[in-house]
Homo-oligomer: A and B are copies of this chain.
Amino acid sequence: MSSEHFTPVPLDKAYRLLNHGPTVLVSAKHAGERNVMAAAWVCALDFAPPKVTVVLDKATRTRALVEGSGLFALQLPTVPQAAMTVAVGTDSALTMPGKLDHHQVPLFDVPGFEIPLVKDCAAWLVCKLIPEPHNQQSYDLFIGEVAAAWADERVFRDGHWMFDSAPAQLRTLHYVAGGQFFAIGESVAVK
């Protein structure tokens, strides 16, 4: 398992893992092949059952694995994983077959799903592809239904992100361009 902090998130709270707009790592596995890419263009789409959208370019190997298996995982990298996130978002398994080993991407398996997850993230969502060929072909837009979700309970518990009290290295990353992210910042509460 990833760590002692890997904790289930109820499906009706799963949208909250993506609501604040984090960049994600997308993982997939098909016919024994595993891959991980980065994606900033990911978004919640529905509450119940929870659905998500993610943009997967035709040039990525991960997309082919998603199309083959009908399954993908989204996971939220944290500040210490910024360089790895850029690396797996820049290099393609099509031109660098040993990409995951080269960048030392630490994977683990979760019972019940044939998909690798990336260790040490803030949260994880395993999603079943809802095939929408027009969206996939015209817009590179993929829709998934969240089948299971987990979070590091130091930073997300009882349905709430605890960035203000959790260790700073558990803050999520929000990509702009050119290797530049912002970490999520301070809480702003409206009474």
Report A's interface with B, CB cutoff 8 A: 16, 19-23, 40-46, 51, 53, 55, 79, 82-83, 85-86, 134-135, 139-141, 143, 159-161, 163, 171, 173-177, 179-191
Tallying the copies of this chain within the complex gives 2
**B180 with A189: CB separation less than 8 A:** yes
Chain B residues near A186: list those with CB within 8 A: 182-183, 185
| Distance in angstroms between the alpha carbons of A183 and B185 in the assembled complex | 5
Q: Please, could you name 15 A-B residue pairs with CB atoms under 8 Å apart, sorted by A?
A: A19-B174, A19-B175, A19-B177, A20-B181, A21-B23, A40-B44, A41-B44, A43-B53, A46-B55, A83-B190, A135-B135, A173-B188, A180-B187, A184-B184, A184-B185
Chain B residues near A180: list those with CB within 8 A: 160, 187-190
